[in-house]
Amino acid sequence: MLGMIRGRLGGAGAARYREDLIQRLNHVLSQLDRGWEFIRQHNLRYNEADIPKMKQRYEQLREVLMEADTRP
């Protein structure tokens, strides 16, 4: 997925897509920051041990999108 982001979402033509994805990732990360009790109330599929892995993956995706946003 990271390779696809770098390859297809780079450049000025994909700026709006990147902005939308970054905004959504920020929203998801803010929910994860609210803690396990909040996540459990909204989604019973996950357990507490999943949260750090999920947060790391979403942060990595956001970083790649932000890097693509700074490339010409």
The domain limits of the chain are 25-72
CA 28 to chain centre: 7
Whether residue 11 has pLDDT greater than 80: no
What is the pTM assigned to this prediction? 0.76
The percent of residues above 70 in pLDDT, for the chain, comes to: 92
Categorise residue 28: left if φ over 0, alpha if ψ from -120 to 50, beta otherwise: alpha
- Give the pLDDT band (50/70/90) at residue 71: low
